[in-house]
């Protein structure tokens, strides 16, 4: 394992000395399908950081996101939010701390886009009640940021895969957690929408939130992320983008070689 970012300690987090640490994984061990995917993994995510999780298919990117979201119990170690160990956090504490967009979206029932997205406000409602005009305006503004305002009255079951992915992200924006978790958020997006989406996620991080997104596009990660976790077979690397996105580390993780091309937009990684 190589860790290139100076990491705070458990005591720092508990004592609140590292006030901007939004996520602390302490000796995290994750297993799925009988395989150990990460072992004794230490990691801190601070406000202002945009982490991209890279690695080949089946290496454990989604498993890591699910564990951080509290949807999968670690085999060992623990995950802490600013409220403490997430294993003993209340559902409302979790909902205000983190929100997640999964890799696949399933719609069991038909529903208008605006009603679907408004569900993101649920963690802030005092009780049951109908949404008011202000809720509707907030929801339309979130849809607008994702280029989806014109679909507000459409039925979610009739959206395309990319549109469906964007309204899931609009819902997450209304939830407005401290920590945004996204499993392959750009996977169904066209090239222009990928740029829009990654710019929006980077903006959330710049606005003192933290973002963790699994990705397959190394070049999008290189351009928009601040930090990378690169998971390879039996090892991983984490740290600032330029420290981790090295051809030899990418080769160790993916098993193919990479040329690095410098351009005005930064480095371009070309596999061969
Ligand atoms: N529900 C499950 N039951 C058993 N094994 C699972 C389950 N979900 C995932 N796995 C296994 O855990 C491993 C990690 O899967 P994970 O989905 O985290 O990979 P990933 O890196 O996100 O892959 P991809 O890039 O293909 O989405 C894989 O070997 C997978 O087969």
Query: What DSSP line would sit under 76-134, residue for residue?
Result: EEEEEETTEEGGG--HHHHHHHEEEE-SS---SS--BHHHHHHGGGGGG-SSS----HH
Average pLDDT (18-29) is 88
Query: Using CA atoms, how far apart are residues 229 and 236, in angstroms rounded to an integer?
Result: 7
Q: Residue 14 has what pLDDT?
A: 39
Helix or strand or coil: residue 244?
helix
| Domain with 82 in it | 2-271
Ligand 1: distance of its center to the CA of 169 in Å?
22
Q: How many domains are there within the chain?
A: 1
Domain of residue 16, CATH code: 3.40.50.300
- Sorting pLDDT into bands at 50, 70 and 90, what band is 74? very high
- Sorting pLDDT into bands at 50, 70 and 90, what band is 54? very high
- Ligand 1 pocket: which of 28, 32, 104 to mutate (most atoms within 8 A of CB): 32
Ligand 1: distance of its center to the CA of 233 in Å?
13
Is the complex ipTM more than 0.90?
yes
Q: With 70 as the cut, is the pLDDT of residue 210 above it?
A: yes
Instruction: Name residues contacting ligand 1 (CB within 6 A).
Output: 32-33, 35, 37, 55, 57-63
Which residue's entry shows tokens 């397959």? 216
| Mean pLDDT estimate for the chain | 89
């Amino acid at each position: 394992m190589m860790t290139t970012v100076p990491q705070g300690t458990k005591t720092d987090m508990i004592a609140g000395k590292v006030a901007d640490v939004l996520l602390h994984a302490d000796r995290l061990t994750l297993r799925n399908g009988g395989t150990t995917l990460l072992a004794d993994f230490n990691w801190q995510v601070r406000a202002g950081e945009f982490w991209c999780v890279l690695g080949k298919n089946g290496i454990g990117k989604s498993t890591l996101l699910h564990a951080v979201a509290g949807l999968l119990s670690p085999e060992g170690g623990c995950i802490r939010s600013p409220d403490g160990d997430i294993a003993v956090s209340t559902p409302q504490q979790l909902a205000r701390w983190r929100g997640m967009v999964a890799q696949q979206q399933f719609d069991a029932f038909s529903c208008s886009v605006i009603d679907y997205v408004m569900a993101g406000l649920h963690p802030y409602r005092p009780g049951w009640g109908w949404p008011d005009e202000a809720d509707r305006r907030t929801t339309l503004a979130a849809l607008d940021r994702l280029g989806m305002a014109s679909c507000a009255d459409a039925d979610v079951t009739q959206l395309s895969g990319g549109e469906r992915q964007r309204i899931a992200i609009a819902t997450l924006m209304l939830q407005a957690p401290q920590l945004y978790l996204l499993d392959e958020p750009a996977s169904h997006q066209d090239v222009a929408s990928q740029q829009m989406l990654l710019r929006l996620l980077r903006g959330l991080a710049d606005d003192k939130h933290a973002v963790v997104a699994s990705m397959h596009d190394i070049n999008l990660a290189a351009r928009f992320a601040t930090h990378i976790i690169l998971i390879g077979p039996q090892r991983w690397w984490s740290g600032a983008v330029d420290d981790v996105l090295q051809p030899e580390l990418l080769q160790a993780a993916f098993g193919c070689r990479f040329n690095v091309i410098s351009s005005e937009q930064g480095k371009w990684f070309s596999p061969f």
